Amino acid sequence: MNTTVATIVIVGALLLALASLITAIRDRPMGVVLLAGFVLLEVAVLVQAGFVIAALAGGEGPSGEAVTIYGYLIAEALIPPAGVFLGLAERSRWGPAILVVAGFAIAVMTGRLLQIWQGVA
């Protein structure tokens, strides 16, 4: 697993969660900036998934944890689009609040993937 890409995903997700929190506190609906940020986050998550799948295919990674890793990768790829869809559907302050949870979930799941990959957990 590429730790540089994982770090980019974690930092980006936390920054987007913070921006979404500020937007929710200001009682504003989700805007184009948050939408673009979550699109970029989805691209970073997919790049990370490509690195992880390539490494697993090459025989790297923890033994016996492939199913868990694939589950995390699939869930991580689904969270940003689902969060954006719900954020656009809810035009009150709760739309950006949904994105706060989505960004935080991506950061936590990526950190957990790193732990599993390194055999710490």
1 has pLDDT over 90? no
The whole model's pTM is what? 0.92
Question: What are 76-91's pLDDT values in tens digits?
Answer: 999 999 999 999 998 8
Q: What is the pLDDT of residues 96-106, one digit of tens each?
A: 999 999 999 99
Tokens of 17: 């969660």
Supply the pLDDT for residue 59.
Answer: 87
Q: Which residues contact 74 (CB under 8 A, 6 or more apart)?
A: none
Percent of the chain with pLDDT over 90: 79
Q: Supply the DSSP string of 21-87, one letter for each residue.
A: HHHHHTT----HHHHHHHHHHHHHHHHHHHHHHHHHHTT-S-TT-HHHHHHHHHHHHHHHHHHHHHH
Of the candidates 55, 96, 52, 83, which has an alpha carbon nearest to the alpha carbon of residue 70?
52
pLDDT band at 21 (very low <50, low <70, confident <90, very high): very high
